[in-house]
Structure 1
Amino acid sequence: MTLVVLGDEPLATVTALRRGPTPLDADGLRIVQLARHEIAVAFGGARLRETLEQERSELSAVVDGATDVIVQVNGERRVTRLNPAGEAKLGVAAATLGGRRCDELLGCPAVGNHQGEACPFDEVLASRGAIDYREGTIRGGDGSAIRIAGSYFRAPGEGADIRATGILRDVSAIRALEALREGFVATVSHELRTPLALVRGYAETLLHLELEPAEQREYIERIQQVSGRLTDLVAQILDVTHLDADPLILERAPVSFAALVARLRGDLVLSGEDARLVADLAPDLPPIEVDAGRVGRVLENLVGNAMKYAPAETPVVVGASVGGDWLVATVDDEGIGVPEAERALVAEPFHRAWNVRESRIPGTGLGLYICRRLIEAHGGRLSLGDRPGGPGGTRVTFTLPLLADARRRGGGGSSRREAGGTAEAAEATGAGEREAATRG
């Protein structure tokens, strides 16, 4: 009997049976040793295959579970493997690849990838080296361009066994965030620089020149106006910072929308813009259940935008009616309007429509974004369209939830128009303020 050992691990015993009393000769012993060796090799091969299969399964699990796109190609750059994340990102099933080349799968020519550089797969296949990091662009399953950061390497092998693998990470969101940050810095720097220069200029004029009292007052009023612009800018930046906090905390309470409009009209008295604000509210509007401060901010932004981008002599109309469980509010102006192609973009941070940019009217591109986020935080929606009846102008529509009791009862009615500076408007303002005081 002899022991079969693989490394330091005993695996089995080999027993040789003989006939008769004659002991094993040298040939018999060699046969036993050969058998022991073959058994050890067989066991070792089985153990190695088991280990390789386990490692292959673990590697496949890692590749299949990765959130990055993992592509493997052969020496002809034909795709031999694509992980599930790649299938989802590229909109193709791995089983249907059928030997497609990587540039066809990734859409490199269509999106202008590599930008004059050699294909990274070609590089690693030819050089045996690795590319630790290279950015490029691939085509997504929906045809969109996806910015990726890739690392590429070649696996051992020659001839038909040559393989190269690319690990591609979608960095589109990161690059968009970086562009947004750069735009934020540039926009805020510009918006701060101009009013600060004006304030400094007015202050130096007051310090170094002997001015008449009327002239002094004029410069002080200009400083006050410019400082107001700075205050608004800082408020918008703080609003954006708070909106990005998760979750956004709302202090909901029953509120009269008419009272919010009346309060805004009161705030506009100092600037003399109150006469431009026209309320076209349905009578007996039920209360809404909102954060009054934040909805007041929405009204202030929307009405302020409307007045800024419309001729000074034109009205800005705030309307409201009931639609199901929602108050449907509108803000209409007779201004330059928003091009239809840009209406989905102007409510994104820092985006300003081309006609607004050409008008050179100052702004940060944050107002509508803040409004949209605040309305959506209440469960409502905000949209832009043409002012009914035209020509020109914009209508901003947004929805706010009615108080639960009002939703059960239903409400609403025909609308009436109230203009600032009229007896009817004063009566409505007083009624709205009394209603707000009654409801708290």
Structure 2
Amino acid sequence: MKSLKSSQILVLSFVLLLVTFSIPQAFPYAFAQTNLHCSDGQVLVYRIISEKYACLNPPSADKWYKSGIAEPVEQISVEAKPHPEKMISAAPIPDAAIGPAIDFSKGYLVEEIKDGLYWVTDGAYNTIFLVTAQGVIVVDAPPSIGQNYLNAIAEVTELPITHVIYSHTHRDHIGAASMFPSDAVIIAHQETASQLEQRNDPNRPVPTVTFEEKYTLEIGNQVLELEYHGPIHEPGNIFIYAPQQKVLMLVDIVFPGWTPFKDLAMAEDVPAFIVAHDIILEYDFDTYVGGHLTRLGTSQDVVIQKEYFQDIQENAALANQQVDFMAIAQEVGFENPWLIFQIYADTITQQCTDATVPDWIDRLAGVDLFTYDHCWKISESQRID
């Protein structure tokens, strides 16, 4: 009997770290074979964007063809069939993701939500401001909106900006904050203040008022309640609630009508991101502001996104159980551990994606683009968190 090489021992030592679920007998994806064949009753498709193959049942395959995210493939040698050129394409946008029309010659839309609370959007980013008897409270300062934020406020009132609230530190949401008056009070969570002190970015002035758990800003008859429920997106991201208007703003968590940006919108804490949907639904709100894309949301949008991620969790867990790490290692060889891990993780991610996308392609925009990334993030979290 041959002794194991050091690289083989290294691979085997990682098995306990990577594989925390029961391992089945079969490896569901052919990754190093020259022929790809599906089980009886399934068809082989080529996923255009990811340049990968998948076996689907005919109804799912038809839906993928109509959506433009896959092409039919004859079950012939992969080597004999050249890959089509990678295409920049996407599935049609569902009606539920379409927001109000924006005059792009103007560059923004401003509308009153209720009782002096307005939202501003450029079609990709959105935020809110609240008009009080003494002045204007602004939330965030997305650079993509930039000067148009001030133009939008000027359409509504001549009152000065007195307070600025940061939802979190990220530059794409507060990177234009230096345009606000230097004497405006800047309010944020203490974690946000600490991070901004370290970054020393003149475009993101350091907050002048901070809090740990809760902060209520009350000016005249207008009230905003700020709360921190942990590092859902990043340390310091806060819930911003207007009780009189029943409006809740939480940035980079729920994207009404759309799937979040890749990797759960770059969330730093996967379990907290999942739980955040339940925390959101504990609030009494009619309107949800997510900070991104085309429209305002409601509690139903939160429920829909929660269901989407529940499906991903279930599909990722099943893939973690079914994909056979040792079968991959034996097929690939033990010389390059990272190659084994890459194929192992990619196979799990692809199986999760293929199981999720067909059920959601008509419900949320962008699932064809970012479900793969969400599956990767969640499946990895299931293995290590």
Q: When the two structures are superposed, what TM-score results if normalisation uses the length of structure 1?
A: 0.23
Compare the two structures and name the one with the higher helix fraction.
1
Q: When the two structures are superposed, what TM-score results if normalisation uses the length of structure 2?
A: 0.26
Q: Which has the larger radius of gyration?
A: 1
Structure with more contact order per residue of length (Cα contacts < 8 Å, sep ≥ 6)? 2
